[in-house]
């Protein structure tokens, strides 16, 4: 690993990514609003992207950049589909609580 490649130590990127991942995981587990849950999932995707890019820069390898680009593409598709599902459910149920949506099976 080339220490001159990063002006900031890789440990700082790992710590920041862990904090962002923990905030995202807490948001998914604790909140019942699907919009907040989607934003929390986006935070977890971004934590992974941060590590991909930090290690790609530290190891002077472009594979991390390619993976980050793929993750951003998947996250955009996930956000579009997730928001469409929330809109459809809200039109029929008038509630956006995920516990209430589970009772709509029928």
- Residue 94: predicted pLDDT: 72
CA atoms within 13 A on the CB side of 83: 7
User: Domain holding 46: CATH number?
Assistant: 1.10.287.3510
Domain span at residue 23 reads: 7-98
pTM: 0.84
- Residue 1: predicted pLDDT: 59
Query: Does any domain span residue 2?
Result: no
- Residue 95: predicted pLDDT: 74
Query: Does any domain span residue 84?
Result: yes
Number of structural domains found in the chain: 1
Query: Does any domain span residue 103?
Result: no
Q: How far is CA 34 from CA 9, 52, 56, in A?
A: 36, 27, 33
Per-block mean pLDDT, blocks of 10 residues, the chain (106 long): 71 97 97 91 96 93 94 94 86 76 60
- Residue 98: predicted pLDDT: 79
Tell me the C-alpha distance between 103 and 25, whole Å. Answer: 24
């Amino acid at each position: 690993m080339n220490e001159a490649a990063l002006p900031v130590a890789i440990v700082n990127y790992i710590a920041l990514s862990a904090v962002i991942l923990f905030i995202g995981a807490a948001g998914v587990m604790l909140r019942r609003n699907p919009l907040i849950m989607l934003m929390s999932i986006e935070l977890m995707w971004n934590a992974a992207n941060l590590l991909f890019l930090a290690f790609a820069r530290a190891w002077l390898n472009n594979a991390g950049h390619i993976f980050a680009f793929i993750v951003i593409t998947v996250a955009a598709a996930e956000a579009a589909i997730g928001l469409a599902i929330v809109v459809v459910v809200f039109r029929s149920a008038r509630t956006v609580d995920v516990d209430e949506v589970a009772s709509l099976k029928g």
